[in-house]
Amino acid sequence: MSESDRFEPLIIGFTCNWCSYRAADLAGTSRMKYPPNVRLIRLMCSGRLDPTFVLKALAGGADGVLITGCHPGECHYLEQNYKALRRYHLLRMLLTQLGVEPERVKLVWASAAEGARFAEEVGRMVEEVRRLGPLNWPAVAADGGETVAVQTPNGGHAHEGEPLIAIPAEQEVTP
Partner 1 sequence: MSTNGAKPKLAMYWAASCGGCEIATLNIGEQLLTVDQVFDLAFFPCIADFKVSDVEGYPDGSIDLCLFNGAIRSSENEHMAHLLRRKSKILVAFGSCAYEGCIPALANLTSRQAILRAVYLENPSLDNPAGILPQTTTEVPEGELTLPAFYPTVKALDQVVDVDYYVPGCPPESEQIWAVLRAVVAALTEGAALPPKGSVVGAGQTAVCDECPLARHEKRIARFYRPYEIVPKPGLCLLEQGLVCLGPATLSGCGALCPQVGMGCRGCYGPLPGVIDQGARMLTAIASVIDVSGKPGDPEEALAQRVEEAVSTLVDPAGTFYYFSMAHSLLRRARVQDDGQGERHHETDHH
Using CB under 8 A, list all residues that contact partner 1: 50-52, 55-56, 58-59, 71-74, 79, 82-83, 85-87, 89-91, 93-94, 97-100, 109, 137, 140-141, 143-146, 148-149, 167, 170, 172-175
Shortest distance (Å) from residue 161 CB to partner 1: 21
In this complex, which beta carbon is closest to partner 1, that of residue 35 or of residue 76?
76
In this complex, which beta carbon is closest to partner 1, that of residue 4 or of residue 97?
97
Distance CA 14, CA 126 (A): 15
Distance CA 64, CA 167 (A): 18
Q: Confirm if 80 and 45 have CB atoms less than 8 A apart.
A: yes
Shortest distance (Å) from residue 4 CB to partner 1: 28
- Collapsing DSSP states into helix, strand and coil, what is residue 114? coil
**Spatial strand order in the sheet of 105-109:** 38-43, 11-16, 64-69, 105-109
In this complex, which beta carbon is closest to partner 1, that of residue 51 or of residue 123?
51
